[in-house]
Every structure is written in structure tokens, then in C-alpha cells.
Amino acid sequence: MNNLERLAFDRQHIWHPYTSALDPLPVFEVESASGVEIRLADGRVLLDGMSSWWAAIHGYNHPELNKAVENQIKSMSHVMFGGLTHKPAIELAQKLIEITPDGLDWVFYSDSGSVAVEVAMKMALQYWQSQNKPEKNAFATLKKGYHGDTWHAMSVCDPETGMHSIYNDRLPKQFFVEEPQISFFGEWNDSDILPLEKLLSENYKQIAALILEPIVQGAGGMRFYHPNYLKQARLLCNQYDILLIADEIATGFGRTGKLFACEHAHISPDIMCLGKAITGGYMSFAATLTSQKVAQTISEGSAKVLMHGPTFMANPLACALAIANLKILASNKWKNEVLQLEQTMNLYFPEFKSFKEVKDVRVLGAIGVIELHKAVDMKVLQAIFVNHGIWLRPFGKLVYTMPPYIMSTEQMKELIQKTKSTLNQYFNN
């Protein structure tokens, strides 16, 4: 098949994320990717501002990550984790325990971020069952949040912008609280934490855990909230005997300017979910970390074990990639890379305020957000982005970038300028 025939087959037979089978959004066939560039099959080259949904933090075709795959596949690409173990899984767990916040001493591997969240929620439920408190079986969470597309993960996503209504109210009912109102750079006021305090004080007997995205609410709105909110949430969970689950799938491994977003508030959760950038964007892989207390309590319960075990748990290829990724991060080059991206975006993003259609712009770490007053026509806007030689994936009212950390200042300037030209064309058509 030629390129057009392949695209026709794709359109007629392959589902893409959040896309109709009857009228799917257009897709662009990729031939290769290297550094911060994506080469399409038709010869066009796109500057990538998305890191493939925030995961390819070191760009594409990275020699050290490639080498990790090549070396590992010579010994084994996979072996079951039930009854067996291997060096990559052990080395990776050692490194994750070392770099994550204090007190996270047990590691559970899984296949994707959504599954990592499912595992975290199961940990919380089993923790309370093991203490003969089965009534603590609900979760508290923030509005405007997003935690994945699997079943229980969906139940703690925003009730309005999530998928609750589609599934006929069959999802578990959780406790939602108003999202934080004070921005990351705003002046803190204790009034912002009062709705959460009220919710937890009134319902703590039913709540197993509070699950939230620390500092940055991602797909639910790309909102950056004040570190004091997270700090106070930790204290409230301690006060009301509720576990705290930090979903660091989008924020982990440097995206916000800290290795983990929890570091902005100097707190440690009881359970932490990691994914996306854990393998440098090469493979789907995730980990759920928890404390000795949680792990021991679960193991002392009636089940005696944590009831989960994916077929590809601790996949050696993925573990080897994650180890290589962490070695790259350990050089600490990422700190300057992220800082330079942040400084460049802070310098030029205010220019987007000249568009009357723009409601707000905000930057944190290697995240730049342009919030519009109205939702975009993604089909139209995406095509203009591609015609301008950049890859961004807007959604709803948001046009945003999470570029690979290795993007140079000149490339970042180019991405911003072409984004501005694209929006100018889109708004004036």
C-alpha cells in the first residue's frame, strides 16, 4: 500500500484516541522521529511540542535509550514476574526508592498510568479492609482532575468534563471537592483549603484516600495550583486518617521544574503513581510506590497479598529503559534544560495575550498553556499547525506545549512563533 492507501485503511478500520469510527479526525502518518523532530511519510518535518503526550522528555531516537533496548533484548525481552525476578526490575526499584520522596519503600510495576492508578486505589481499599474498616471504601478527589481512562480511574476524574455521564452512572460514586483556586504564583490564603477540610471532616469514616495530581491538574484543565494547598492536604489526611495518593504520572521526572511535583510542597504521599516519562517515552510502563506501613498492613489482612498481577509486570525491556532514563536524569542536565524552556516561554508567552480570544497564559517548568475563551475546532487547528511545521495537540479551550527537555532555546522560539502564526491564521479565517 502507498501512503494514501494506508491512511484510507486507517480511517476505515483503526480507532485512534477519543475519535469517532464514522467521522474520525484526520491523522498524519509518521515515518521516523529523531531529537525533537517528527518526520511524516509525505516528507514534512514537524517540530514536536508535545513529547508524545508528555513522555518523550529526552526526545526521540536517543542513543543511550536505544542502547539500553539493544543490550537488554540480547538477554531477554520479557519473562513472567510471578515466581521469577530479574536484575533490571531490582535495580530500577532501588533507584525509584532512592529518588522519590521519603517513605516510599515498596514498588509495584504495571503496564500504564491508568493501571498504576487502579493499583493505587486497590492498595488503599485493601489497606482499610486489613484494618477491619471496610466502610472506608470511597475516594475524595478534586474537580478538574484527570487520572486515566480505566474503570475506577475514571470515577475520580472530573465529573463534568470526564466520562461519567457516558457510562450511565455505573461508575463508583466518589467525593468531589472544588478544585484549588489560588494559582501556583498567587498569594496563599487558608480559605482555599476550607472546602477540602469540610469534605474530609464530614466524610472521613467513608474515605479510604484522597487522590490528586500534585501542583498541576493536567488533562482536566492544565491548571497550576499553590504548593500550600498540597501541603495542607497532606496535613488534613494525617488528621483524618486518610491515605494520600499522588498521581505524578504527568508531573513526574522533572516536568514542573522539580523531579517530582510533590517536592514543591516538601511532602511525601502514602502512595505515588508514576508513568509516561518513566521510560523516556519509549514504552508503556508504570509503577505504583507505597510505604512500608501500607504494604505491611495489606499483607497482614485476610487476603495476605495485593490482589493484582499484570502479565507484563516488570517487563525487562521497560525496566532497562527506565534505568537508562534515570541515568540521563541523574546528570541533572534536565534542570537547566527545563529552566531554559521555562524562561523562554515566560519571555514570549505574554505575546499571546494580544489575541482577544485568549483568556489566560501560564507557564510552569516545561509546560506552557494558552487558555482560550472558547473551545477550538481541533480538526481545523491541528491541520494549520502541521502546515506551519509544528506538532501541537490542542483540546477544548487549551492550546498548550510540553516540549522535550532537549529542545533548544532557538527551537522553542520557533515553536512559539509558529504557534502565534497558526493562531493568527485560525482566528482570522
**Residues tagged active-site:** 18, 146, 247, 276
Strand pairing class (398-401; 30-34): unpaired
Strand pairing class (207-212; 138-142): parallel
Say how far apart CA 42 and CA 2 lie, in whole Å.
Answer: 11
List for the chain the helix, strand, coil content (%; round to 5). Answer: 40, 15, 40
Where are the strands (E) in 138-202, listed by range?
138-142, 175-177
Say how far apart CA 61 and CA 39 lie, in whole Å.
Answer: 12
Residue 33, H or E segment: strand 30-34
SS3 call for 328: helix
What are φ and ψ of residue 413, in 5° steps? -60, -40
Strand order of the β-sheet with 45-48 is 30-34, 37-40, 45-48, 390-391
Radius of gyration of the chain (CA): 22
* Cell numbers 502514602: residue: 270
Q: What is the DSSP letter of 128?
A: H
Taking alpha carbons only, the member of 109, 223, 125 closest to residue 172 is 125
Q: What is the DSSP letter of 351?
A: G
Say how far apart CA 387 and CA 371 lie, in whole Å.
Answer: 22
Q: Report residue 237 as a C-alpha cell.
A: 489526611
Q: How far is CA 3 from the centre of its chain?
A: 32
